Amino acid sequence: MAVRDVLISGDPRLRQPSRAVAPSSLGSEALWALVQDLRDTMAARDGAGLAAPQIGVPLRVVIFGITHNPRYPQAPPIPETVLVNPEITPLDPQLETAEEGCLSVPGLRAPVPRWRRVRYRAFTPDGEALVREVEGFHARVVQHECDHLAGILFTDRLG
Chain-centroid distance, C-alpha 142? 6
- List the beta bridge partners of residue 78: 66
Catalytic residue among 87, 96, 99, 145: 145
* 8 Å CB contact between 23 and 72: no
101: how many CB neighbours lie within 10 A of its CB?
18
Amino acid, single-letter form, for residue 55: I
Rounded to a whole number of angstroms, the CA Rg of the chain reads 14
Instruction: Establish whether 133 is a catalytic residue.
Output: no
**C-alpha–C-alpha distance, residues 129 and 84, integer Å:** 10
Which residues form the catalytic set? 145
